[in-house]
A and B are shown apart, each in its own frame.
Chain A
Amino acid sequence: MIEFLQNLGKNTRTSFTKLGRGTFFLLQTTSGIVSVLPRPRLLLNQMHSIGVLSFLIITISGLFVGMVLGLQGYYILSDFGAEETLGVMVAASLVRELGPVVTALLFAGRAGSALTAEIGLMKATEQLSGMEMMAVDPIKRIISPRFLAGFLSMPLLAALFSAVGIIGGQMVGSGLLGVDEGAYWSQMRANIDFQDDIVNGVIKSIVFGFVASWIALFEGYDAIPTSEGVSRATTRTVVNSAFSILGLDFILTALMFGD
């Protein structure tokens, strides 16, 4: 019993310490962004490895998610004779929820885990301390460009996901199942609001990009510098990112769409 309480206290303390370290790390990283701006090449390289290389998985997933939404939506809506509203259903669920959330989950799996592994290995092979020895701040040189790149790539990826998904839904809906193409688009346009739906979706994706990049970079930077430590850190990145993204999504949805 005493041991249980001791462990509980210890675990609580370590998790708070970690949160504190994470916050400090985030502050350092954001203040390091200023020094990235004179070196756009660093940012560009990271935009390539984070954004461009996630492009394919995001667009293909978006296409299939949109197509599935088109199919399922059609089956349910046709029971009520409301197939024309398929466009609204597909677009609303993509723009409000699935676009930002699924993109963020894929982003954490594709780009986040890679970031953690890369930085964890840099730490394990003492490249980070080597940089410090040469008076190069690894936060400014390594972490901040990656953070900024992740932060900028996420909204673009989420927008692509939603756009491709809506086109996929249209392909299935009016191509295969015979929903009127004009009704698909016009109903969508009449019911999707720019402020309420699109802008809020983009805000969501920005928040998720921020959180997912923060967690990925921090777990890498904080990893125990052994091969096992790096592998654990990579796992934690995916798990913690998924939790934070889904939890934040609930909070943001409650704030944004609570009429």
Chain B
Amino acid sequence: MQHTSTQDTLVGLFVASGIAGLFFLALQVSNLSSFTEQDSYIVTARFENSGGLKVKSAVSSAGVKIGQVKAISFDPKSYESVVEMSIDKRYSTLPDDTTASVYTAGLLGEQYVNLDAGGSDEYLKDGGKIDVTNSAIILEKALGQFLFKSAAEEKK
């Protein structure tokens, strides 16, 4: 057991570098550091159609990500899509007449919720509701309307 202490050092180095690798993956590579569930509050919005929105889609305002979609469900009474969003506590000063719209990032990009701040003095609270919403633009629908319109114009 002559080399015991060098062996100990090597094993120590190995374990330390393995754990450092894990930390690197957790903090540098994943989204663990950028957003945590604890420091957030929940806001719900009802959309006529939430399109391709998914759980964990981004919620952003003025182009900055401020939260993410927590749950999406269908309300069988009003036939609307109910979207629960968790928004970072740092941005707790959104007015309660904020408008929520489902946008698409780029032509083929992912869909996200955009919040446009309104002018009210009251702020949205935890569990609050956003009343004014704009649905996702469904490409097929828009194309259909466009074609229908141009056909109608030709008839005139």
Contact = CB atoms under 8 A, between A and B. Distances in A.
Contact of B26 (A156, A160, A198): A198
B22 A202 contact: yes
Dominant secondary structure of chain A at its interface with chain B: helix
A66 to B, nearest CB: 12
A162 B21 contact: yes
B17 interface: yes
A197 B17 contact: no
A155 B18 CA distance: 8
A190 interface: yes
Contacts of B20: 163
Interface stretch (B30-38, B95-103, B116-124, B147-155): B30-38
A21 interface: no
Contact of A198 (B7, B14, B29, B65): B29
Given A45-B7, A48-B7, A197-B30, A163 B14 contact: no
Contact of B22 (A159, A164, A185): A159
Contact of B14 (A156, A166, A193): A156
Interface string B4-17: 00011011011101
Contacts of B32: 194, 198
Interface string B104-144: 00000000000000000000000000000000000000000
Contacts of A197: 30
Contacts of A86: none
A194 B20 CA distance: 16
A55 interface: yes
B20 to A, nearest CB: 8
A48 B11 contact: yes
A201 B11 CA distance: 23
Contact of A185 (B13, B21, B28, B56): B28
Interface size class of A (residues with CB under 8 A): 20 to 34
Interface residues of B, number: 25
Contacts of A194: 26, 30-32
A156 B28 contact: no
A159 B21 contact: yes
Nearest to A202: B22
B146 interface: no
A188 interface: yes
A157 interface: yes
A189 interface: yes
B17 A47 contact: no
Interface of A: 44-45, 47-48, 51-52, 55, 91, 95, 153, 155-157, 159-160, 162-164, 166, 185, 188-194, 197-198, 201-202
25 contacts: A44-B7, A47-B11, A48-B7, A48-B10, A48-B14, A51-B15, A52-B13, A55-B14, A153-B18, A155-B18, A156-B19, A156-B22, A159-B25, A160-B18, A163-B20, A164-B21, A185-B28, A188-B29, A190-B34, A190-B65, A191-B31, A192-B29, A192-B30, A193-B30, A194-B30
Interface of B: 7-8, 10-11, 13-15, 17-22, 24-26, 28-34, 56, 65
